[in-house]
Amino acid sequence: MKLLAIAALTALLVPKADVRFEADGLRVDGALVTGRILELKGAGSSALLASGSSVEALTSSLEIQLTADRTLVLEPGLRVARAEGGYLFTSHRSGTIRFTASEESVAVAGPVLVASTPEGWQIGDRKLGGARLQAGVPGQDDTESNLDKMMKSKEKMQNGGVPKLGNRNVRLYGADPLTSGNASGSVAVRQIGRVSPDGAP
């Protein structure tokens, strides 16, 4: 109980990251980043890569102010860059990017262009409402999909699709490997010539 209280107090004392897109670049905790090359930055307790037009969260979710009334929560593994007509989201992994706003979620193949609209967000050809958008990569530890895979594996084993480990016989040698090992037999040992301590015969 004390550990939980300490963790909660620590979270409250850690300064919140201030990251926002501005007309001249990206502001990270008061410092304006304007260059085209990504730089490693620290904001609050988060580490991120930032350039004048893009940002990528490295260690934890990052709250980014896109406009005065629009906020983005960017999870690690994604990069967002300012682009013509909105913001371009890309991922290091191939696959979909998950967007959540106002308790609605969509998964879209990346890279994808996202624009803010009067009603909410335009994500590729999909729409979500709300002023706050969360973007992330679907995790490998997705409980439901892992449970489905485990159940399918169980059914396959019960139906005889996979042989049980106890029934597998592996034979590494065609015959007894010790019977052909004559290299150390008495005849072979007697055929070795005498060698003096200095190596001469």
Q: What is the reported pLDDT for 93?
A: 79
Measured distance CA(114)–CA(117) in Å, rounded = 10
The string of DSSP codes covering 28-78 is: ETTEEE--SS-EEEEETTEEEEE-SSEEEESSS-EEEEEETTEEEEEPTTE
Q: Across the 201 residues of the chain, what is the mean pLDDT of every consecutive 10-residue run?
A: 48 63 86 86 82 89 87 90 91 86 88 90 90 83 63 74 58 58 58 60 53
Report angle CA 73, 77, 80 to the nearest 5 degrees: 55
Q: What is the pLDDT of residue 81?
A: 92
Say what the pLDDT of residue 29 is. 84
pLDDT digits (tens, 9 = 90+) for 32-69: 888 888 888 887 778 888 898 999 988 888 898 888 88
Domain ranges of the chain: 14-136
Q: What is the pTM of this model?
A: 0.60
pLDDT of residue 12: 44
The CA distance from 95 to 110, in Å, is 7
φ, ψ at 77 (rounded to 5°): 100, -5
**Number of CB atoms found within 10 A of residue 106's CB:** 17
Q: Answer for the pair 79, 89: CB distance below 8 angstroms, yes or no.
A: yes
| DSSP code, position 144 | H
pLDDT for residue 80: 92
**The predicted structure's pLDDT at residue 200:** 56
